[in-house]
């Protein structure tokens, strides 16, 4: 009964909203605008017209006026009847795109009237040139960067969207209607439910619930020595059918690994993330499926589910404000953790409450990325990760880490050994690559070959596709064609026998996975385990239960599967090092600084994504009289368990 009544109200509200928007637009614009259609395109309102220049002239004055009236973002599309032919349009584009931009290709989307223009240097195309193309052809131009090296990921995502243009526009249209439905239940109550990563590291998943809407922030897996654990999707208050949106902070499996599971179980709604996150997520999730299949495991989901996630994704840049449900607005802020990583800011209930969820956050500058941002228009609740929440979790600076790594490399090279560095493909690998190249450039270590294996090269290609998300230094280098990731010291292993690779000594090998839970690194470790001249160097956080964590804990007898599948046990005789300072996580001082310098000061701080002992220590500290006195700040500190819910309003 209640459900069907809800359906009726829902449909009524949809019709009413669409009518209201049309009426508001027509009462705002002059008569000569020649609007031929108004429709939702995701959270934006698309106005089709025969005369786009009327809307966009005077710095888009009319578009701004409409947006202010209907309180929604507006895009202008050319009327299909008036569009130039594709051939004519191509000629216009070739004429107006400057040669130094490096035009590579042009793709037409006859449904939306967009034309994608792939160039090597988008920053060399001016807005004036784009407007000129639009006004002349009535095709809306969209400039895409063609990466300097081939990226399978970038190509496949673009191909998929082009091949699914009808499906995609249907999705966006439905999304708009759903986002702008009139709320049936007033937003008087807001709570979060911890589905994962509460008092643990792994399977990040936080459900934000109001009487009207359900938003899931992150959908990760927890890596363990023994398969991966899902978030608590079986809690009765979580229902895929009632989910309005999934919002993703960044592309690590402990934040995205369970995302296709939602689609497998019937989720049809949107997923919000940055564009680099989309690309890295596709890469990691497809790899996850392939590895599961190769290892004969029952996969959690299939390639089809990964494709569903891609087609249901809506990407946003930092600072862009978007309605994602009635009375809920999303903004991403730079998190400093990996390429494209974002903090989630939710504005709920027209001023009722604002939540900031950091995801994984680095409140310090690294070679690769600028630090996390922490000034918000409003923020009453801060949900912050606590990976390094213990007071002993103070990490050396990246410069010190680089020096330490240099010393290890130098000594190992002098012993004619191999430096084996297990890395997460995304983030730490690029950071360590940059450090090694810099050490070589400064002649602190000899010019050694760096062998990389396990998606690292593809991940680097994605980095080159989105330089605007990188630090100013690296971005500048890429814009100036001094791309560090294409250094000739880097050798990508594809198909070469690993037995041959480890004979090329001295050398450095970077291989996945970063916590020794699988991947090519295990093969290298098996072959090098009893070589006391070689070194095993951990550069990232090792989750409890993983082989990496066990070795750091003193384990020196390791059982491997050899290529024939037989179990063999080896003594680990390599030199084992842990180089801290390359972490993409804030250390304890940085976490504290993030909170202290955050504007505005939150009223409630909720700790998650940390082992329970670290969470407890950090919670005690933040709640102590000592901290209150020192900082002059006072807020409530909470640290729920999984399956607990906390009421915010």
Q: Is 642 in the site for its own copies (CB under 8 A)?
A: yes
User: Distance (Å, rounded) from C-alpha 154 to C-alpha 159?
Assistant: 9
User: Distance (Å, rounded) from C-alpha 206 to C-alpha 203?
Assistant: 10
Q: Is 131 in the site for its own copies (CB under 8 A)?
A: no
Q: Which span sits near its own copies by CB under 8 A: 361-369, 408-416, 433-441, 639-647?
A: 639-647
Question: Which lies closer to its own copies via its Cβ, residue 240 or residue 423?
Answer: 240
Residue 19: partners with Cβ closer than 8 Å, 6 or more residues away:
none
Contact 414, 387 (CB under 8 A): no
SS3 category, 216 = strand
Q: Is 585 annotated as a binding residue?
A: no
SS3 category, 16 = helix
Listed residue (161, 139, 163, 144) closest to 91, CA to CA: 139
User: Distance (Å, rounded) from C-alpha 258 to C-alpha 228?
Assistant: 10
Q: Is 252 annotated as a binding residue?
A: yes
Query: Least separation, in Å, of the C-beta of 609 and its own copies?
Result: 17
Question: Which lies closer to its own copies via its Cβ, residue 193 or residue 423?
Answer: 193
Residues 170-189, mask of contacts with its own copies (x by CB under 8 A):
-------------------x
Contact 617, 629 (CB under 8 A): no
Query: Least separation, in Å, of the C-beta of 262 and its own copies?
Result: 15
Total residue length of the chain: 649
List the structure tokens of 563. Answer: 């290529």
What 3 state SS string does 172-201 have?
HHHHHHHHCCCCCCCCCCCEEEEEECCCCC
Query: Least separation, in Å, of the C-beta of 299 and its own copies?
Result: 18
Q: Is 644 in the site for its own copies (CB under 8 A)?
A: yes
Query: Least separation, in Å, of the C-beta of 111 and its own copies?
Result: 35
Question: Which lies closer to its own copies via its Cβ, residue 211 or residue 600?
Answer: 211
Residues 188-207, mask of contacts with its own copies (x by CB under 8 A):
-x-x-x--------------
Listed residue (112, 104, 111, 84) closest to 144, CA to CA: 104
Q: Name the pairing type of β-strands 604-608 and 381-385.
A: parallel
User: Distance (Å, rounded) from C-alpha 566 to C-alpha 562?
Assistant: 5
Question: Which lies closer to its own copies via its Cβ, residue 2 or residue 472?
Answer: 2
**In the set 98, 211, 227, 600, which binds its own copies (CB under 8 A)?**
211
SS3 category, 43 = coil
Residues 222-261, mask of contacts with its own copies (x by CB under 8 A):
------------xxxxxx--x-------------------
Question: Which lies closer to its own copies via its Cβ, residue 18 or residue 643?
Answer: 643
Q: Is 319 in the site for its own copies (CB under 8 A)?
A: no
Helices (H), 218-294: 253-256, 259-264, 275-294
Q: Name the pairing type of β-strands 381-385 and 353-357.
A: parallel
Query: Least separation, in Å, of the C-beta of 611 and its own copies?
Result: 17
Q: Is 611 in the site for its own copies (CB under 8 A)?
A: no
List the structure tokens of 202. Answer: 């792994």
Query: Least separation, in Å, of the C-beta of 185 and its own copies?
Result: 8
Q: Is 254 annotated as a binding residue?
A: yes
Residue 360: partners with Cβ closer than 8 Å, 6 or more residues away:
249, 250, 252, 255, 335, 337, 338, 341, 385, 387, 584, 585, 609
Question: Which lies closer to its own copies via its Cβ, residue 234 or residue 500?
Answer: 234
Please give the sequence-ordered ranges of beta strands (E in DSSP) within 464-556, or none if there are none. 490-492, 507-511, 535-538
Query: Least separation, in Å, of the C-beta of 243 and its own copies?
Result: 11
Contact 536, 420 (CB under 8 A): yes
Q: Is 209 in the site for its own copies (CB under 8 A)?
A: yes
Q: Is 646 in the site for its own copies (CB under 8 A)?
A: yes
Contact 285, 160 (CB under 8 A): no
Cα–Cα distances in angstroms (integers) from residue 358 to residues 334, 595, 612, in the given order: 9, 11, 18
- In the chain, the largest separation of any two C-alpha atoms, in whole Å, equals 82
For tokens 């209150």, name the residue.
628
User: Distance (Å, rounded) from C-alpha 80 to C-alpha 73?
Assistant: 21
Residue 82: partners with Cβ closer than 8 Å, 6 or more residues away:
50, 138
Query: Least separation, in Å, of the C-beta of 214 and its own copies?
Result: 8
Query: Least separation, in Å, of the C-beta of 645 and its own copies?
Result: 4
Query: Least separation, in Å, of the C-beta of 235 and its own copies?
Result: 7
Residues 384-423, mask of contacts with its own copies (x by CB under 8 A):
----------------------------------------
Query: Least separation, in Å, of the C-beta of 589 and its own copies?
Result: 29
Q: Is 345 annotated as a binding residue?
A: no
**In the set 53, 126, 634, 641, which binds its own copies (CB under 8 A)?**
641
User: Distance (Å, rounded) from C-alpha 222 to C-alpha 240?
Assistant: 20
Q: Is 250 annotated as a binding residue?
A: yes
Tell me, by CB under 8 A, how many residues bind its own copies.
20
Query: Least separation, in Å, of the C-beta of 627 and its own copies?
Result: 18
Question: Which lies closer to its own copies via its Cβ, residue 374 or residue 642?
Answer: 642
Residue list, annotated binding site: 250, 252, 254-255, 337, 360, 609
Residue list, annotated binding site for Zn(2+): 250, 252, 254-255, 337, 360, 609
Q: Which residues bind its own copies (CB under 8 A)?
A: 189, 191, 193, 209, 211, 234-239, 242, 640-647
């Amino acid at each position: 009964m209640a459900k069907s009544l809800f359906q009726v109200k829902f449909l009524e509200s949809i019709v009413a909203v669409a009518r209201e928007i049309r009426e508001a637009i027509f009462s705002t614009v002059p008569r000569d605008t020649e609007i031929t259609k108004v429709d939702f395109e995701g959270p934006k309102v698309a106005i089709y017209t025969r005369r786009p220049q009327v809307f966009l002239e005077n710095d888009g004055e009319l578009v701004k006026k409409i947006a202010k009236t209907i309180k929604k973002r507006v895009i202008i599309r050319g009327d299909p009847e008036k569009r130039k032919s594709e051939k004519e349009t191509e000629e216009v584009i070739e004429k107006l795109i400057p040669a130094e931009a490096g035009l590579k290709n042009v793709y037409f989307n006859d449904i939306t009237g967009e034309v994608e223009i792939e160039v090597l240097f988008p920053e060399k195309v001016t807005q004036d040139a784009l407007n000129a193309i639009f006004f002349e052809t009535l095709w809306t131009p969209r400039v895409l960067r063609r990466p300097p090296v081939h990226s399978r990921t970038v190509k496949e995502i673009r191909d998929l969207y082009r091949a699914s243009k009808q499906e995609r526009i249907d999705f966006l249209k439905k999304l708009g209607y759903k986002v702008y439905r009139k709320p049936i239940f007033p937003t008087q109550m807001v709570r979060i439910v911890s589905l994962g990563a509460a008092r643990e590291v792994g399977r990040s998943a936080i459900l934000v619930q109001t009487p009207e809407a359900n938003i899931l922030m992150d959908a990760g897996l927890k890596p363990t020595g023994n398969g991966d654990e899902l978030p608590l999707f079986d809690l009765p208050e979580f229902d895929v059918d009632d989910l309005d949106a999934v919002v993703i902070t960044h592309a690590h499996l402990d934040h995205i690994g369970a995302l296709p599971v939602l689609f497998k179980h019937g989720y049809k709604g949107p997923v919000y993330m940055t564009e680099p996150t989309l690309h890295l997520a596709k890469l990691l999730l497809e790899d996850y499926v392939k590895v599961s299949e190769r290892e004969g495991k029952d996969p959690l989901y299939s390639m089809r589910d990964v494709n569903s996630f891609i087609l249901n994704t809506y990407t946003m840049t930092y600072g862009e404000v978007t309605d994602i449900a009635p009375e809920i607005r999303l903004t991403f802020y730079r998190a400093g953790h990996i390429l494209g990583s974002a903090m989630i800011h939710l504005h709920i209930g027209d001023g009722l409450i604002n939540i900031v969820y950091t995801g994984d956050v680095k409140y310090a500058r690294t070679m690769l990325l600028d630090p996390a941002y922490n000034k918000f228009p409003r923020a009453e609740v801060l949900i912050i990760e606590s990976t390094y929440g213990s007071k002993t979790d103070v990490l050396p600076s990246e410069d010190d880490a680089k020096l330490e790594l240099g010393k290890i490399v130098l000594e190992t090279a002098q012993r004619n050994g191999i430096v084996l560095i297990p890395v997460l493909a995304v983030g730490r690998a690029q950071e360590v690559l940059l450090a090694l190249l810099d050490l070589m450039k400064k002649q602190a270590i000899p010019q050694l070959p760096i062998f990389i294996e396990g998606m690292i090269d593809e991940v680097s290609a994605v980095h080159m596709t989105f330089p605007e998300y990188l630090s100013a230094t690296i971005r500048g280098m890429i814009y100036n064609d001094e791309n560090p990731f294409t250094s000739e010291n880097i050798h990508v292993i594809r198909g070469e026998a690993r037995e041959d690779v480890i004979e090329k000594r001295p050398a450095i090998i970077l291989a996945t996975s970063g916590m020794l839970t699988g991947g090519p690194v295990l093969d290298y470790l098996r072959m090098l385990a009893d070589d006391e001249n070689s070194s095993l160097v951990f550069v990232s956080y090792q989750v409890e239960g993983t082989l990496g964590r066990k070795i750091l804990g003193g384990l020196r007898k390791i059982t491997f599967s050899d290529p024939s599948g037989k179990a063999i046990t080896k003594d680990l005789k390599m030199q084992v090092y842990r180089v801290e300072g390359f972490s993409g996580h804030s250390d304890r001082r940085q976490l504290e600084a993030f909170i202290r310098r955050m504007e505005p000061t939150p009223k409630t701080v909720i700790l998650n994504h940390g082992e329970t002992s670290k969470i407890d220590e950090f919670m005690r500290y933040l709640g102590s009289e000592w901290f209150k006195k020192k900082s002059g700040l006072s807020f409530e500190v909470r640290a729920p368990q999984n399956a607990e819910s906390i009421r915010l309003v």
